[in-house]
Amino acid sequence: MSSLVKVKIYTASEPLVSWIYEGQTVWQAVQKAGVLQRGDCGGRGICGKCKARVEGDVLSLTSEEEEVLSVEEKQGGFRLTCKCHVMGETSVFLPETRIAHLKGGLLMFERYPGVLAAIKKVDTHIPPFNRNNPIPLMERVQWSFKDYELEISSANLNHIAELDQGDGFRINGGLLDKTVLRIHPQGQGRFCGLAVDIGTTWISCALIDLITGELLGETGALNSQIEYGRDILARISYVMDNDTGIEELNEKVVRDISLIVEELLDGLEIGSEDILEMTVVGNPVMLHLFVGLDPRGLGRAPYVGLFRRGISRRAATLGMPMHPAGRVLILPQVAGFLGSDVVACLLAVAGNSLDNFLVLDIGTNGEMVIVKDDMYFACSIAAGSAFEGGGITSGMVARGGAIDRFWLEDGEMKYSVLGIERPEGICGSGLVDLLNVLLDLEVIDETGLIQPDKYAGKWRNTPRGTELIIVDEAESSQGLPLVLNQQDVRQLQLAKGAVRTGIDILMKEAGINPQGIDEVMFAGAFGHYLNPEAVIGIGMIPGFEEHRIKPIGNASLRGALAALVSVREREEAMRLASCITAVDLADHPDFASLFVESMAFK
């Protein structure tokens, strides 16, 4: 058996140590330490995103590294961590990254209106302990809730026992259907719910008081399944190729949600057992992996999974960090790759939109819906991960260190950075802005061809071709230049072409033109930072008037919240899922011609 070797991992906050077997990779050492690295290809050495400076006893550069790394990167000791094999003590230096504060809250309410939750509060009186007729506390509690079943934990009963000092006292019970799950002394404690949006790249959660409707917290984290591939097809492929793939991917998402809940509860006088119900939305592949079901049916025609309607499970069966007898409710899906996140988006905008509107959620796996005269037309789009920084030389997700905007000022290109001053990469909204600026300067023509002679910026020749240096290495947080090359532009063209083709086909199916659409709503983080002028300028969407375009934040999470606090919204979710017409783009007769046309920057 190979011997264990030590890998020191130097981060911005504190050094970490990871022990791995000789011959394993730096990537594996970093993952074992619980640090999530950049990377789109699941460790196959294709994307080039896991670059880091490495020192120590490692094998020589692989052919993949020779091809991907620039001369400067090789001279600086940079390696692809997924291809760098460790033979002895090694050090890896990771760049500073901090989570950026969002420019505006993704949720709309501090207190959610119209609470009609499935969880009810029941007030009752516990009779005093009588020494002449001693009745155990559990029996007195059961008698007080005589119309209901009782399923409280030992710790909960022990806490209530501290009040049982001879006098009677009042308590509140958290009731789910006909079962009391949690009890608190009157005036103390909360009965909470958790809304969860499981995205391919990002998981978002919101904690709410189900009795008052008070929003107690909202946060999220990267979906650590990204280690196995950036998109849903890569994760299906991992399941196909590995006997334990379903279990591994399920464990990742369960752990991610548990850590997010731990963060939400930190500083609150609330325990995980105070969470009595959870609603979950996401695309079909993410939902299958969350439940621990095989998603392979979604990876081949006719793209049908093992379930589509809404389902509920006891929390304990899914390993959720909440009351073990609490309910986890997965909202209904539509069809194919159209999941409950689409339904949740529509729940979120209901009552706040005009008659005819378009909703787009552009992520690694994007969806869009056109609503016309109460008819719903939806499709999923294979936009890829380009607008989340995937496959782009200097791309990254929208977090601290990401350039989110570009503009021209006195002929000079300017940019803004999320969270910190020194940029690490360029996120999706920044890439759209950058393309729009370069189109205005005619550095990129209508076909997407880069023309270096049109711009007196800094250029360099690399094995990847001619690259425009956007940010010098001295100004970046990694000590590496941020660049754009022809391959990056082509990847962005494919992504924007997929989005535009989806819109054009949905408009055709709905029998509506751009002038007939009253509102265009961009959901998610990408839409939150998006510049309407730029998204029109590169031709990603038709020429809507800018005032009609608006970001709506994390609409999927808001929809999950709506279903959490209102049983009526759950009924509406079932109605929406059944009446949405799913449009299969790949089978549409106009798809090929429209896609080719949509690739052009016009």
What homologous superfamily does CATH list for 340-385+498-598? ATPase, nucleotide binding domain (3.30.420.40)
d(CA 357, CA 545): 13
Q: Which helix (H) or strand (E) holds 330?
A: strand 327-330
| Mean pLDDT, residues 336-340 | 94
3-state SS of 30-76 is HHHCCCCCCCCCCCCCCCCCCEEEEEEEECCCCHHHHHHCCHHHHHC
Sheet holding 86-93, edge to edge: 15-21, 4-10, 86-93, 51-58, 78-80
Residue 5: strand, helix, or coil: strand
Q: Residue 270 — pLDDT band, cuts 50, 70, 90?
A: very high
| Domain 194-330 identical in fold to domain 340-385+498-598 | yes
Mean model confidence pLDDT for the chain = 88
Residues in contact with 297: Cβ distance below 8 Å, sequence separation at least 6, in sequence order? 303, 304, 305, 306
Provide the pairing of β-strand 169-176 with 119-126.
Answer: antiparallel
| Mean pLDDT, residues 45-74 | 88
What local confidence, expressed as pLDDT, does residue 67 receive?
87
What are 519-566's pLDDT values in tens digits?
999 988 777 778 888 999 999 999 888 888 888 888 999 999 999 998
Residues in contact with 362: Cβ distance below 8 Å, sequence separation at least 6, in sequence order? 381, 383, 387, 428, 499, 522, 524, 526, 527
Q: Which residues pair with 221 in a beta bridge?
A: 203
Q: Which residues pair with 169 in a beta bridge?
A: 126
What local confidence, expressed as pLDDT, does residue 47 receive?
75
Exposed/middle/buried for 4, CB within 10 Å: 0-12, 13-18, 19+?
Answer: exposed
- Residue 120 pLDDT > 70: yes
d(CA 435, CA 446): 11
Share of the chain above pLDDT 90, in %: 60
Give the C-alpha distances (Å, rounded to integers) separating 195 from 215, 253, 313, 364, 368.
Answer: 11, 15, 15, 21, 22
- Residue 70 pLDDT > 60: yes
Residue boundaries of the structural domains of the chain: 4-93, 194-330, 340-385+498-598, 388-492
What are 434-449's pLDDT values in tens digits?
999 999 999 999 999 9
**CB 220 within 8 Å of CB 204:** yes
Q: Which residue, among 198, 109, 105, 103, has the nearest Cα to 398 in the 3D structure?
A: 103
Query: What beta strand segments (E) does 348-422 contain?
Result: 357-361, 366-372, 375-381, 402-409, 412-417
**CB 578 within 8 Å of CB 555:** no
Architecture of domain 4-93: Roll (3.10)
Residues in contact with 580: Cβ distance below 8 Å, sequence separation at least 6, in sequence order? 334, 338, 342, 343, 369, 376, 377, 378
d(CA 500, CA 482): 27
Q: Which helix (H) or strand (E) holds 335?
A: none
What are 341-363's pLDDT values in tens digits?
999 999 988 765 678 999 999 87
Q: Residue 97 — pLDDT band, cuts 50, 70, 90?
A: very low
Q: Which residues pair with 19 in a beta bridge?
A: 6
What are 133-189's pLDDT values in tens digits?
889 999 999 999 999 999 999 999 999 999 888 788 999 999 999 999 999 999 899
Instruction: Please report which residue ranges of 48-169 form alpha helices under DSSP H.
Output: 63-68, 71-75, 137-144, 154-161
Give the C-alpha distances (Å, rounded to integers) separating 66 from 71, 84, 429.
Answer: 9, 12, 31
Say what the pTM is.
Answer: 0.79
194-330, CATH topology level: Nucleotidyltransferase; domain 5 (3.30.420)
Query: What beta strand segments (E) does 392-508 contain?
Result: 402-409, 412-417, 425-426, 458-462, 465-471, 482-485
d(CA 495, CA 499): 6
- Residue 595 pLDDT > 80: yes
d(CA 304, CA 323): 32
What local confidence, expressed as pLDDT, does residue 17 receive?
76
d(CA 515, CA 501): 17
Q: Residue 193 — pLDDT band, cuts 50, 70, 90?
A: very high
Exposed/middle/buried for 22, CB within 10 Å: 0-12, 13-18, 19+?
Answer: middle
Q: Residue 35 — pLDDT band, cuts 50, 70, 90?
A: low
What are 391-419's pLDDT values in tens digits?
899 998 887 889 988 988 888 888 989 87
**CB 208 within 8 Å of CB 561:** yes
Q: Is the peptide bond before 423 cis (omega within 30 degrees of 0)?
A: no
What local confidence, expressed as pLDDT, does residue 95 receive?
59
